[in-house]
Chains A and B, each alone.
Chain A
Amino acid sequence: GENVEQHPSTLSVQEGDSAVIKCTYSDSASNYFPWYKQELGKRPQLIIDIRSNVGEKKDQRIAVTLNKTAKHFSLHITETQPEDSAVYFCAASRSNFGNEKLTFGTGTRLTIIP
């Protein structure tokens, strides 16, 4: 089955700096890669996603890049703000292959230092 590794497990950055979180996946058939933000005690919320036919996607301060050959994808947050502090999870899926499940990474606790 799919295996998703995520690094780093914790990340502290100064407010205004950029943060990068990296994930690798094992199943070359995976074609859908969402990122979730989870604040303490709350539900995971989708912040951005990318499909395998696209190499990069941006949404304001957030971007995701995908390298299918190397089987890794990354989340980039620019101009970080205190409200970006949370746990971020990457995930991968073989969407449209009959078993629609997300395989999650182990999470990155991001702390923005004011």
Chain B
Amino acid sequence: DAGVTQSPTHLIKTRGQHVTLRCSPISGHKSVSWYQQVLGQGPQFIFQYYEKEERGRGNFPDRFSARQFPNYSSELNVNALLLGDSALYLCASSKGRQLNYGYTFGSGTRLTVV
């Protein structure tokens, strides 16, 4: 079975631009969560989606948005990029809504804002 796949793996954007990151969960997993990991820090929770509905939101500005599609894949969108948005963006999927059902991270998308 394929693991959690994220695309693209690396991305360079200019301040003020918009970016879309994509995540495909493990087959059979219905929950997708997004985390931001700034260099040298632990991941910070951005969103959780389960059954195509937002189930949780972290302390991030409205420039960050996400959605989940009928096939349970997900997109994370960030508008008006700032230099501080440079980070590794991680997607995690799990079978159910709860964390202890096979919660698995993808390899992430490295976003650099210049």
Contact = CB atoms under 8 A, between A and B. Distances in A.
Interface stretch (A14-22, A58-66, A74-82, A91-99): A91-99
Contacts of A44: 43, 90, 105
Interface string A84-102: 0000010101011011111
Contacts of B45: 101-103
Given A100-B33, A101-B56, A43 B105 contact: yes
B106 interface: yes
B44 interface: yes
A99 B42 contact: no
Chain A interface category by residue count: 20 to 34
Contact of B99 (A1, A95, A106): A95
A34 B103 CA distance: 10
A72 interface: no
B43 A102 contact: yes
Interface residues of B, number: 26
A102 B56 contact: no
A101 B54 CA distance: 12
Give the secondary structure class of B's interface. Answer: loop
Contacts of B44: 104
A85 B106 CA distance: 21
Contact of A102 (B99, B104, B108): B99
A76 B26 CA distance: 30
A110 to B, nearest CB: 15
Contact of B42 (A46, A51, A107): A107
A89 B41 CA distance: 9
Contacts of A104: 42-44
Given A45-B105, A102-B35, A106-B41, 9 more contacts: A51-B100, A95-B100, A98-B55, A98-B56, A99-B55, A101-B58, A102-B43, A102-B45, A107-B41
